[in-house]
Amino acid sequence: MIRAFLLIAPLLAATACAGPGALGGSPQIQVMSGDTLPSPQRTDLFVEDRPYLVGPFDKLTIDVYGIAELSKKQVQTDASGRISFPLVGVIEAAGKTPGEIAKLIEDQLRGRYIRDPQVTVNLDETVSQVITVDGQVREPGLYPVVGRMTLMRAVATAKGTSEFAKLDDVVIFRTVAGQQMAALYNLKAIRRGAYPDPEVYANDVVVVGDSQARRIFKDILQASPLITAPIIASIRN
């Protein structure tokens, strides 16, 4: 069974009132007069990215400044998310950012081996923090999540939607605290600015125009085929 949140009712009502091409519907979107967008400010060009958390089988390069024997070290986390580094030993890297791993190595080296170590850890390749993009996209597959990723960016990463994609039938599947969740989005409405482009996270599954995803929301879609705002549902096994 599907238990829909109370969010659905007001969305259905709002949809009925919205005309074609209408903007708005979200308090975060401001409609301005004029035929061009204003130029971004400097701070707009450097929005803080979501910190990356290292996971199993990720590849890292570790450098200790001024110590050739400890520089350009390429390591890969094991299935448990651990790495091994000279003079330090085994490090629990899973769930930590590259910066936190660098700080941990510095703390282990300081005093015992190096007076004031300066360590940098760079991510070379990730296989743990990925999303799945499936359905009616040009290149379905697994794609890494580094920094901030949104639904539109995820679809673009998969080379965009296919010719027969249903833009009003895009579903994000996500597990939160052991509970599988699903959200239905209208990509065309997001492009018009009807509501913000939602963020996606590692382990999310994005399905575009998939028949199985559509069946989950069958009753809701039949009741209101003109839905333009997101619908969130909790899925009971």
What CATH number should be reported for the domain holding residue 136? 3.10.560.10
- Region 212-234: mean pLDDT is 64
pLDDT (tens digit per residue) in 30-40: 555 555 545 55
Residue 113 located in a structural domain: yes
Pairwise pLDDT comparison (113 vs 11), residue with the higher score:
113
pLDDT of 10 above 60: no
* Count of domains for the chain: 2
The boundaries of the domain holding residue 120 are 59-125
Q: Give the span between the Cα atoms of 64 and 105, in whole angstroms.
A: 9
What string of DSSP letters covers 125-168?
E-SSSEEEEEESBSS-EEEE--S-EEHHHHHHHTTSB-TT--TT
Name the range with the highest mean pLDDT among 6-20, 153-167, 176-190, 217-231: 153-167
pTM across the whole model: 0.61
- Region 109-117: mean pLDDT is 90
Q: 187 with 219, same domain?
A: yes
- Region 95-111: mean pLDDT is 94
Q: What's residue 30's pLDDT?
A: 52
Q: 65 with 79, same domain?
A: yes
